[in-house]
Amino acid sequence: MEKVVIVRYSEIHLKGKNRNYFERVFAMNLEKSLKGLRHELRRTSGRYLVEKFEEGRAEEVAERVSKVFGVHSYSIGLLVGSELGEIYAAAKEVGPKSGTFKVETHRGYKNYPLTSMEISAAIGGRLLDENPALRVDVHDPAATVYIDVRQQGAALVFGEFGAGAGGMPVGTAGKGLLMISGGIDSPVAGYMMAKRGLTVELLHFHSYPYTNDGAKEKVVALAKQLSPYTLVTRLMTLSVTHIQEEIHAKCANELNITLLRRFMFRLAERVARERGDKCLVTGESLGQVASQTMEGITSSNAVVTLPVLRPLIGFDKDEIIARAKAIGTFETSVLPYEDCCTVFLPEFPATRPKLSFIEEEEAKLDVPALVEEAMATLETVEF
């Protein structure tokens, strides 16, 4: 009898002839999530088993695999032989000692001498005989003992299904660059795109010394909190201080944020192309702030040719906050450190600027030189 973690995948079963590719990437991602833990990973007919881990580490293994995109559900269970006595011993281990219960059997090995109903009846009957405080309730039991009879003379016995992260394995939908701030929205945007299989690299803009090291450390913390989902272990940073100073000195005050964002998009596209990323990802939500009006979004899009994915575009703030809390980034995001967009913030930022006016003001700047100066500040933080 061996304790194992059973992993069941999500949309992969719909992939037809490409299924093997998705399964290979999924297995690689499971291995990445379990790095540092002694274990063995084995595929068995539409499931993966994590085996041979240290005593007492089952909960940690389950917690890690639950965050891997592509996981539909997981269970901590027992791997035993297929003899009825071995199955009963495991059922006794995972089953309740009192209250209502039922036994539910899946017989993947169709040549097994008993049917699913007969296995359930035999195991349930023995549990009842040895535990007078138990009662059978097949409609609404307080507990269920699940039995999964496999081939090669093995069976899995467990008591619960844990919900996985769902989605598609990271890496099966290409690679993109997330423009991550220290706020609530962009980490959620990165999470959502990773859930659809996108490998999400991270780029952060800072305005040191107007913003301090605490702001940068906050973003590193967010990147670490995202990494169990995105499987990314590096963060790139660029300084835009000199760009903000030039905009503030030479351009219409109400366009400070609009012009800065155009530079950010230019820089992000430059980094993305050098990294082989095929799209940009932002946490923008339509109408949430002055720069996220239709005119502001059009202004940003005008300076890049890569696709810009905005998974939160139709979300309101409450919905975004709820997701941030669910993935564990909210408490870090609300720490009181300013990001670069709060530097030289105008009292009345333009909400519907005309593109012709934006371009006229931007012409006062040496755009190529400012971009090159910013690119020279590129740093990578490994974690």
pLDDT in tens, 167-222: 999 999 999 999 999 899 999 999 999 999 999 999 999 988 877 778 889 999 99
CATH number for the domain spanning 63: value is 3.30.2130.30
| Token pair recorded at residue 356 | 């012709």
How large is the average pLDDT for residues 304-308? 98
Question: Do the bridges between strand 47-51 and strand 40-43 make them parallel or antiparallel, or are there none, so unpaired?
Answer: antiparallel
How large is the average pLDDT for residues 65-75? 97
Whether the predicted pLDDT of 56 surpasses 80: yes
Question: Do the bridges between strand 47-51 and strand 2-9 make them parallel or antiparallel, or are there none, so unpaired?
Answer: antiparallel
| Token pair recorded at residue 350 | 């333009």
Residue 344 is predicted with a pLDDT of 66
Whether 143 is covered by a domain: the verdict is yes
The domain boundary, picked from 116, 135, 163, lies at 163
Residue 341 is predicted with a pLDDT of 63
Whether 169 is covered by a domain: the verdict is no
User: Same domain for 51 and 199?
Assistant: no
Whether the predicted pLDDT of 36 surpasses 90: yes
Please tell me the total count of domains within the chain. Answer: 2
151: which residues sit within 8 A by CB, 6+ positions away?
45, 108, 109
How large is the average pLDDT for residues 296-303? 94
User: Same domain for 144 and 193?
Assistant: no
Which of the residue ranges 7-16, 129-138, 344-353 would you say has the lowest mean pLDDT?
344-353
User: In the chain, pLDDT over 70 holds for what percent of residues?
Assistant: 98
Domain region containing 301: 175-382
User: Same domain for 208 and 262?
Assistant: yes
Interval 340-370: pLDDT, tens: 566 666 777 888 889 999 999 999 999 999 9
Greatest mean pLDDT among 12-26, 66-80, 148-162 lies in: 66-80
Whether the predicted pLDDT of 25 surpasses 80: yes
User: Same domain for 363 and 289?
Assistant: yes
How large is the average pLDDT for residues 148-177? 94
Whether 185 is covered by a domain: the verdict is yes
Whether 209 is covered by a domain: the verdict is yes
CATH number for the domain spanning 272: value is 3.40.50.620
Q: How confident is the model at residue 339 (pLDDT cuts 50, 70, 90)?
A: low
Whether 134 is covered by a domain: the verdict is yes
Residue 65 is predicted with a pLDDT of 97
| Token pair recorded at residue 41 | 């990973």
The domain boundary, picked from 132, 163, 194, lies at 163
User: Same domain for 304 and 377?
Assistant: yes
Confidence (pTM): 0.91
Whether the predicted pLDDT of 287 surpasses 90: no
Interval 237-285: pLDDT, tens: 999 999 999 999 999 999 999 999 999 999 999 999 999 999 999 999 9
Which of the residue ranges 7-21, 175-189, 304-318 would you say has the lowest mean pLDDT?
7-21
Residue 364 is predicted with a pLDDT of 97
Residue 16 is predicted with a pLDDT of 81
Is the CB of residue 348 less than 8 Å from the CB of residue 246?
A: no
CA–CA separation, 312 and 320 (whole Å): 8
Whether 170 is covered by a domain: the verdict is no
Whether 168 is covered by a domain: the verdict is no
Is the CB of residue 33 less than 8 Å from the CB of residue 231?
A: yes
- Residue 180's alpha-carbon distances to 205, 221, 276, 342, in angstroms, are 8, 12, 18, 15
